Amino acid sequence: SAVISQKPSRDICQRGTSLTIQCQVDSQVTMMFWYRQQPGQSLTLIATANQGSEATYESGFVIDKFPISRPNLTFSTLTVSNMSPEDSSIYLCSVTSGPPYEQYFGPGTRLTVT
C-alpha cells in the first residue's frame, strides 16, 4: 500500500481566508481523491484529482470553492477558499494502489474555521 502524508495536520483559520492542503504519496499513483469528513460524520467525496487536467467534482462541490491541483503522479493540493465555520471538517487525501478499488488514506487535515 502507498504511504500518504498531508500538510498541515491541523489549522485554525479565520473566516474569509483560504487554506491550501498538500498531499504527498511515496509512489506514483493514477487516482487521487479528496474527501471531507464533517464532525461525527462519514466521508464524502469532494473530487477526483486528475493529473494533467481539471479535477472532477462531485455534486455540491465547485471548483471556485475547492480548487485542486495535481501537477504530477505523487502530489496534489486542495484549497478551501473563502472559508466559513461550516467548512470546519477533516479533509482527507486518498489514493488507489494495488488491487482494484482498494483505497488508502492520508492522516487527514483537521480544519477549524472561526
Partner 1 sequence: GQQLNQSPQSMFIQEGEDVSMNCTSSSIFNTWLWYKQDPGEGPVLLIALYKAGELTSNGRLTAQFGITRKDSFLNISASIPSDVGIYFCAGPRDRDDKIIFGKGTRLHILP
Closer to partner 1 at the Cβ: 37 or 81? 37
Closer to partner 1 at the Cβ: 1 or 20? 1
Q: Checking DSSP bridges between strand 109-113 and strand 10-13, what pairing results, if any? A: parallel
Residues lying near partner 1 in the complex (CB under 8 A) are found at: 1, 4, 33, 41-43, 45, 48, 92, 94, 99-108, 110
Outline where DSSP puts E strands in 1-114: 4-7, 10-13, 19-25, 32-37, 44-49, 56-57, 68-72, 75-80, 89-96, 103-105, 109-113
Closer to partner 1 at the Cβ: 51 or 81? 51
Minimum CB–partner distance for residue 106 and partner 1 (Å) = 5
Minimum CB–partner distance for residue 29 and partner 1 (Å) = 14
CB neighbour class for 103 (10 Å; exposed up to 12, middle 13-18, buried from 19): middle
Minimum CB–partner distance for residue 96 and partner 1 (Å) = 8
